[in-house]
Amino acid sequence: MKLEFDVAIVGAGPVGTALAGLLVARRVCAPARIAVIDPKMPRDGEGEDWDLRVYALSRASERLLGACEVWDRLPRQRMHRYERVCVWDAAGFAEGSGSLTFDCAEIGEPDLGSIVDGRALKWHCLQAARQAGVVVVEASVRAVSIGDAAARIRLGDGRELSASLVAAADGPDSPVRRLLGIGTTGHSYAADALVAHVRTELPHRNTAWQRFLPTGPLAFLPLPDGRSSIVWSVVRSEAERLRGLAPEAFADALETASAGVLGRPSLSSPVASLPLRLRIAATLVRERAVLLGDAAHVVHPLAGQGLNLGLLDCGALAAVLADVGDPRAIGDWRVLRRYERWRKSEVLPAAAGFDALDRLFSNADPLLGALRRNALGAVGRTPFAKRWFAAHALGTSGDLPSFITGRDRITTDRSSPRRENR
C-alpha cells in the first residue's frame, strides 16, 4: 500500500508536531496531506510528577505554539511563568558582585517566559496536530530516496509513502539525516547535564538562577509547586559519581555548588543525565528534504534555547512554504534554500555564542574570572544592555516570522493557501 502526501514529517516531538500544526494554520496544504511519522508516539500527557525534561519557552515560542493551537491546551499545573533571571560567576555573589539580574518589570512585560513540562508539551502538540486532521503514522523509517517528482519513504512495517517534501525532526541522532547522507560538524563537551527536581529551603521567587562554575553551569528553574528543576553541567566522570550518591550526599554537593542560593535542597525525583554536545548539520536542505530542530542543530543548554531554536525553524519553514502557493512545489531546492539561509543566519551565531560562553565561564583562570565578574557587573549597571539581554531571553529579537511578531494575523479560513508577510 502506497500513501501519498504533500509533507511527511519524521519525528513526533514538539518540533515535528508544531510544524504540522503550522502548515495547517498557514494553509500550506490540506491537513490530510500532512503525515507525522514516528516509531513511538507519546501515550499520555501527564505522569504523577513533572517530567525530568523541562523546557524554558520564550515569548516567541509561546506565540508560535498559540498559532498552531497548542498553547491554550497546556495544563496550567504543568507550566510556570518566571519573572526574573539571576546569573552569577562562581567567585561572585548572587544578586551582588559579579552577577547580572534582570526583571520582567524593567521591560514592561508580565514575565520572561515559561517553564513547561516536557511530557505535557509533547502530548498536546501531537493532539493538536491530530485534531487538525494531520495523519499520524506509527512506524520507523528504513529508507529515503529522492526522485524528480517526490521523495519516497520506506517504513519499517513494509509500507511505502511519497511526499513532495520530507521534513526531518527526528532528534540529534536523526536517522533521516543519515539516510540523506548529510554530515555534521561540532564536538562533544565530554560532559553531561544532570537533571532532577528539588525542594529548597528558600523560595525560588519565580526566578531562574544560574551559577557559572569552573566545571560548567548550574541552573535552578522554578516550578509552580515551589520546587525547582535543576540542570547541572559537569564533566562525565563527575556526573557518574554524583548520580551514584545517596540523596543526602547529592543534596550536600548541590548546596555547595549553588553556594546555598536557595538554602538546603532535597531531591524529590530521580537524577538523570543528558550528554552535552555541539552539532550542526553541514546543510539544512536537500532537494525535497529539510532538517529542523535537533536534527539540524544541537547547542549547549546553558541558555535554555535548544527547543526555542527548533520551534523557530518551524516558523521560518512554514513562512517560506506559505509563499509558494502550490503544494507540489514546496520541495523545490530553491524554495528550501530560503529557509536554510534564514535559519543559518540565526542559528550559527547563537550556537557559536553559547559555545564561547561555556568556554569563557567554565574554567578556573583567575584573570578570566575577574573579567567575567566585571563584565556581568557592567551589564547589570547599564539599562540598555540589560534590556538587550531581556529581549533575547524573551525571544522577541532577531529575524522572526510576522505571525510571531504580530504584524500578520492567522485567520481561521483554511480553504486556500496564503502568502506570508515577513
Q: CB 418: neighbour CB atoms within 10 A?
A: 17
pLDDT tens digits, 47-99: 889 999 999 999 999 999 999 999 999 999 999 999 999 999 887 888 887 78
Cα–Cα distance, 38 to 222 (Å, whole number)? 31
**Whether 222 contacts 210, CB under 8 Å:** no
The predicted model gives 305-326 an average pLDDT of: 94
| pLDDT in the model for residue 338 | 97
Q: What are phi and psi of 154, to 5 degrees?
A: -105, 125
pLDDT tens digits, 241-282: 999 999 999 999 999 999 999 999 999 999 999 999 999 999
Cα–Cα distance, 107 to 386 (Å, whole number)? 9
| pLDDT in the model for residue 128 | 97
Cα–Cα distance, 169 to 312 (Å, whole number)? 13
Residue 296 vs residues 72, 121, 162, 203: alpha-carbon distances, Å: 28, 20, 22, 38
The predicted model gives 27-37 an average pLDDT of: 96
**pTM of this structure:** 0.92
Domains of the chain: 2-80+115-186+277-361+397-405 (3.50.50.60), 190-275 (3.30.9.10)
Q: Find, among 278, 333, 307, 315, the residue nearest to 404 by Cα.
A: 315
Residues 6+ apart with CB under 8 A from 188: 275, 276, 277
pLDDT tens digits, 119-129: 999 999 999 99
| pLDDT in the model for residue 403 | 85
